[in-house]
Structure 1
C-alpha cells in the first residue's frame, strides 16, 4: 500500500495548480517575498498547547446529531438493534465524525504570519485533507485529538497573491491509547482584503443580481415535535466479489446548499465553517466549508459499500468554491481492487461537481469490504 507520506507529497505538489485559488503549474513558487513567517515556522514540529475539544465523550446522541447534520440517515449510525446485526456489532460513527472532536483549523490560524507592515494575515482557507480511519469510534469511547504544525511555505497565487501554504497534522486516540484516525491537511493563509480588492474568488459563479444581497433562502425554524423523524436508510450489503474496476458509484446529490445546511454542521462541530452570507468580503456569498466534503464523500461511499464496509481513507482537494444557492453532485469510480494482508480493498477516484457544470472537488478513497472467499480481519 502506498504510504500516507508519499500520498501527502502528491497532494502537496497538486494542491495549487488549477485549484480554486487559481494559477497554473509553476506559478506558486516565490523568489522574493514581503511576508515574514519565521515566528510561525518556529512552531513547526513543536508541541503546542491544545485547545479544549468540543466533545470528548462519544454518545449515541453526538453520533446521531452529526449524521443528521451531514445529512446521512444511515441506520448503522442510528438504529442500535439493526447495527448489532452488522459486522460492527453495534452503532459506529460516520467517516468524518471526528471533526466533532477536533479540527486543524486552529493550527493554520496561529499567529506569526505577517505582511511587510507587520500586520497579521488573518484569513485562512482549507485546501486539502486526507483522512486515514484505523478503528471504529463507538458510543462510550473517549476521543482525544492532538494537532501539530508540520510545515509552512510561502507561495504566490493568481487569486490569493502572496500566501502561506500550511501543513497540519492531527492524531485521534481513544481511551485505550489506540489511534483511531489520522488527518493530514493543507490550508492557505492570505490577505482577504487584498483578494477582495483584486476581484475576489468564486468567479465561476454568476454574479448576484443587483438588489439581491444573497442567494440564501431562509429556512423556517424546525422545532422539536414539529417535523417528522428522518426515515432511516437500510443499505444492501455489498461484497468484494460484487465490485468491478470501472464500476460507478451512484451520485450523491445535495442542495441547493443553504446557510441552514452549513449552520447545522457548525452546530455539531462548534464552527469548523462560516455562517456569513451576502456579498461582503473576498467570497461573494456564503459557502460550504471544504471539510464538509469529507462528510459528503463518506456518506456516498458508505451507502454504496453497504453496512459491513469500512472506509479506510478519503483524500480530497478543493478545486473551486461551493457557494450557497446551488446543488452539488458527488460521484465516484472504482480504479483498483487488491487483497493486502488479508484485507479486501477497493480504490476509487471521487469528485464533486457543481450543478453549473464545473468541478469543485477531486480526490481518491479506499474501502475495505467483506469477502465471500476471504475471512475478514476484525477491527
Structure 2
C-alpha cells in the first residue's frame, strides 16, 4: 500500500472513529436490563434444510456425516440428520411481537468498536431438517471496565433464547460483547510488535499430520464408564487462518445480522440505514467496518497487525472439537468460552482438552471438559469449559436436558403472540 493510500485510510479512520463512550448510552442500556423482546432479525438462514446443515458444518471445517449425510443419520439414535447444536447461532426468522420504543432500545454506541469476547450456550434439543428457528431475548447485564487494550470499555451480556416453530426451546445463547473506543485502541499500539507468521514445509507437514489423524467418533459409542478424569482429548488443528476461511464461514451461513453484508443497491440501502458502519477504503469507497476480518490494511488502522477471525468462528471450532469426541450418541449440554487473544490471518490454532469431572445427575451421565486453543506463538487464544452427556452401559442412552419450566412457558407466550399478530395482519 502506497504512502498516499495509507494516509487516506488513516484519515478516514480518524474521521470515523473519533467517537468516545457516552455515559448516556450506558444508562440507556441499564434501563432495559432483563427485558425480553421478539427478534425481528432475518438471518441469512432461517430454516435448517439438509443442505444448509451440511454447508454450515463445512463452513467451519466439520465433515461429521451425522450433520452432512442424511442417509447416514437414519442409522443413528436420532433417526435422521441433525444439525450441530451450535447452528442455532446462525438460524433466525423474524418473530412478531411488541417492539421496543426508541427509548427502550439501549445505547447506540455509534463509532465504537465492538467484538465478541466469549459466550455461553445451553442446548436442550436437536435441530432437524425443516426446523425454522425464532428467538427472543435482551440485555442481561452491562458493566463498565478498564481494558488493557483500549482504556475504558463497556462489557455487555446479551441473552438469546432460540426456539423452533412449535415453541420448543432449542437453546439459550449468552454472548459477551466488549465495546472499546477505536481511537484509543489504535493509539495504545499494544499489538504492533507481533511478528508475521512464516511456515516451512516441515511446519506444514506437522500441521497436516494432525489433520490426517482427526476423525469424528461416529457410531462407536463413547460410554460414560470408559471415561476417566484427567483423560486427554485427541489433538485437533485449525488453520493457518486465511481470507478464504472467512469467505467459507460466511458462505456456510454466518450473516453477521443486524449489520449484514450487502452488495449493489442493497448495500446502498444498508448505508442509508446504518451509515456509521461504512467507512471509506483506500479508494474512497464506503465499505463495512467489519472488513477487519479480511482487510489487513483496515485492521492495521484500528491497531491490529493483520485481519483476524470472528469469535463465533472459534466457538464453532471448539464445538467441533467436542462433537467429534462424544460421538453420535452423545450430547453437548453446555459450552462456555472466553476469547483471550486475537487469531490473526496466518495464525494456526492447536486445540486441546482434558476431562475434569464425571458424575450422575438427574438420571444423566455427565462429563466436564476443559478446553483451549493455542497458537504457534504458544499463546492461549480461547479457553473454556463444557459439559457433555454420554451413553452408559448401566443407565442407557444419553438423555437430553429438561428445559426450565419458566423458560418454556415464556417461549410459548412469545410464539402465541407471534401467531396472534400474524392473524391480525400486523406489521
Q: Which TM-score band (shorter chain)?
A: 0.7 to 0.9
1:291 lines up with 2:312 in the alignment: yes
Q: Is the 8 A contact 1:287 1:323 kept in 2?
A: yes
What displacement does 1:68 show?
Answer: 0.7
SS of alignment partner, residue 46 of structure 2: coil
TM-score, structure 2 as length reference: 0.69
TM-score, structure 1 as length reference: 0.77
What displacement does 1:356 show?
Answer: 1.3
Match of 2:373 in 1: 352
Match of 2:162 among 172, 175, 193: 172
SS of alignment partner, residue 269 of structure 1: coil
Match of 2:189 among 186, 195, 199: 199
Could you report, residue by residue, the CA deviation over 1:260-297 in whole angstroms, capped at 9, with x for unpaired residues? 11222123111377543213323221111111122111
What displacement does 1:303 show?
Answer: 1.1
SS of alignment partner, residue 235 of structure 2: strand
1:79 lines up with 2:69 in the alignment: yes
Name whichever structure is richer in helix by fraction.
2
Q: Is the 8 A contact 1:342 1:376 kept in 2?
A: no
Could you report, residue by residue, the CA deviation over 1:235-270 in whole angstroms, capped at 9, with x for unpaired residues? 333111121111111111011011111222123111
CA distance in 1, matches of 2:111, 2:146: 14
CA distance in 2, matches of 1:102, 1:42: 26
Closer, same or farther: CA 325–133 of 1 in aligned 2, 3 Å? same
Match of 1:271 in 2: 256
CA distance in 2, matches of 1:359, 1:52: 35
Q: Is the 8 A contact 2:157 2:176 kept in 1?
A: yes
Closer, same or farther: CA 367–208 of 1 in aligned 2, 3 Å? closer
Match of 1:237 in 2: 221
What displacement does 1:367 show?
Answer: 0.9
CA distance in 1, matches of 2:316, 2:245: 13
For residues 51-130 of structure 1, what are the structure 2 equivalents within 5 Å?
51-102=41-92, 112=107, 120-130=110-120
Q: Is the 8 A contact 2:32 2:106 kept in 1?
A: no
Q: Is the 8 A contact 1:75 1:234 kept in 2?
A: no
Closer, same or farther: CA 113–174 of 1 in aligned 2, 3 Å? closer
Closer, same or farther: CA 203–147 of 1 in aligned 2, 3 Å? farther
Gaps of 5+ in 2: 1-20, 94-104, 199-213, 258-289, 401-427
Match of 1:143 in 2: 133
CA distance in 2, matches of 1:304, 1:264: 24
Aligned length: 314
CA distance in 2, matches of 1:192, 1:49: 31
Q: Is the 8 A contact 1:342 1:375 kept in 2?
A: no
Match of 2:241 among 224, 241, 257: 257
CA distance in 2, matches of 1:242, 1:208: 40
Q: Is the 8 A contact 1:350 1:363 kept in 2?
A: yes
Match of 1:39 in 2: 28
Closer, same or farther: CA 100–330 of 1 in aligned 2, 3 Å? same
Q: Is the 8 A contact 2:335 2:385 kept in 1?
A: yes
For residues 327-342 of structure 1, what are the structure 2 equivalents within 5 Å?
327-342=348-363
Closer, same or farther: CA 122–173 of 1 in aligned 2, 3 Å? same
1:302 lines up with 2:323 in the alignment: yes
Closer, same or farther: CA 69–313 of 1 in aligned 2, 3 Å? same
For residues 13-24 of structure 1, what are the structure 2 equivalents within 5 Å?
none
CA distance in 1, matches of 2:364, 2:342: 36
Closer, same or farther: CA 289–232 of 1 in aligned 2, 3 Å? same
SS of alignment partner, residue 336 of structure 1: strand
Which structure has the greater CA radius of gyration?
2
CA distance in 1, matches of 2:193, 2:330: 36
Match of 1:361 in 2: 382
Gaps of 5+ in 1: 1-32, 104-109, 115-119, 210-230
What displacement does 1:191 show?
Answer: 0.9
What displacement does 1:142 show?
Answer: 1.5
Could you report, residue by residue, the CA deviation over 1:75-127 in whole angstroms, capped at 9, with x for unpaired residues? 10112222111111111111321122159xxxxxx76266xxxxx34210111
Match of 1:372 among 393, 406, 409: 393
SS of alignment partner, residue 46 of structure 1: coil
Could you report, residue by residue, the CA deviation over 1:50-82 in whole angstroms, capped at 9, with x for unpaired residues? 322332211101101101111100010112222
